[in-house]
A and B are shown apart, each in its own frame.
Chain A
Amino acid sequence: MTDYPADQALLARLRAGEQKAFRELVATYQGAMRAVAFAIVGSRQADEAVQDAWLSVVRGLDAFQARSSLKTWLLTITANSAKNRLKQNRREVLLDDLPAPHGSIGDERFSESGHWLLAPHAWHHDSPDALLTEDELRQCLERTLASLPSQQGSVLHLREREGLELEEICNLLQVSASNVRVLLHRARLKVYATLEHFEETGQC
């Protein structure tokens, strides 16, 4: 019995060594796996950690019992590979921040009493589709995402693009819930600042 019938079908094809099945697997999960590895070992070793993870996945296909989803299994393997790469103790969560290209929504936007000094303008585009038709905006966003410290970027990726729950992110990255929330919030405000800048100036 399994709760993951779609995974079962894919799993059978993977076990048969079907290349298209691997293509599906890689396309679906590589981004999330990279984000997990990136958060744990940083950019220099992330690719190696993901490679290690893929090898473990191929090796573990027969033993995998499908008691969890494929996604959970893959991300757990990735987190473990990344941790194995970290020979020393776990890195401290980098709550130090790096500046983003268009800043954030920082204290300077508010008066001493906490009211908006520089309130948000209404954006011209009011749907994601409308915003994403702008090539330059897409590139601009990519630049902001690339500027995020590794853990901030990974947490944002796992939450927004992979749809992981905060709790799953905490467990995978072994970061406390409050730190995950801090990282996520900082990253979101930077993304906001980039969109705001683009909406106001029409350029990156």
Chain B
Amino acid sequence: MLSCKELVALSSDLLDAHLSLRQRVAVRLHLAMCYRCRRFIRQMRLSRAVLRQLPQGQSAELDALAARLAELRRQQG
């Protein structure tokens, strides 16, 4: 029987669908019985979704870089 600590250790592999069949069964069994770990996994998925939506900035810098690269390309061609 998997402990909560072991479940947390497997949580990333669960998110990435990287568990062996045996681990998958053990994780499913544990989650069926443990609301705390269910909550933990739900919130792990939520934090992953937050990261995916976190905006990336620095657009002025990128404008300058793009201008330089385009210029370089035109010089080449």
A-B pairs under 8 A by CB, number: 133
Given A23-B62, A54-B65, A58-B69, A114 contacting B50 (CB threshold 8 A): no
Q: Count the B residues whose beta carbon is within 8 Å of the partner chain — how many?
A: 43
- Inter-chain CA distance A120–B45, complex, in Å, is 14
Given A17-B77, A181-B12, A128 contacting B52 (CB threshold 8 A): yes
Tell me if A59 is interfacial: C-beta within 8 Å of chain B: yes
- Inter-chain CA distance A188–B73, complex, in Å, is 40
Nearest CB on B from A50, distance (A): 9
Query: Does more than half of chain A's interface fall in helix, strand or loop, or is it mixed?
Result: helix
Tell me if B32 is interfacial: C-beta within 8 Å of chain A: no
- Inter-chain CA distance A65–B5, complex, in Å, is 49
Tell me if B28 is interfacial: C-beta within 8 Å of chain A: no
Which of B16, B37, B50 neighbours the largest number of chain A CB atoms within 10 Å of its CB? B50
Given A26-B65, A61-B73, A138-B54, A120 contacting B49 (CB threshold 8 A): no
Instruction: Check A181 against B47 for contact (C-beta < 8 Å).
Output: no
The 8 Å CB contact of A17, one of B6, B37, B52, B70, is B70
Chain B residues 19-58 with CB under 8 Å of chain A are 36-37, 39-40, 43-44, 46-56
Measured CB to CB, the nearest residue on chain A to B53 is: A128
If A27-B66, A57-B69, A110-B8 are given as contacts, then 8 extra A-B residue pairs at C-beta distance below 8 Å, sorted by A number, are A23-B66, A58-B69, A110-B3, A110-B5, A119-B39, A119-B40, A188-B11, A188-B15
Q: List 12 A-B contacts (CB under 8 A).
A: A15-B73, A22-B67, A22-B73, A115-B3, A115-B5, A122-B39, A123-B46, A128-B49, A131-B46, A132-B54, A192-B44, A195-B50
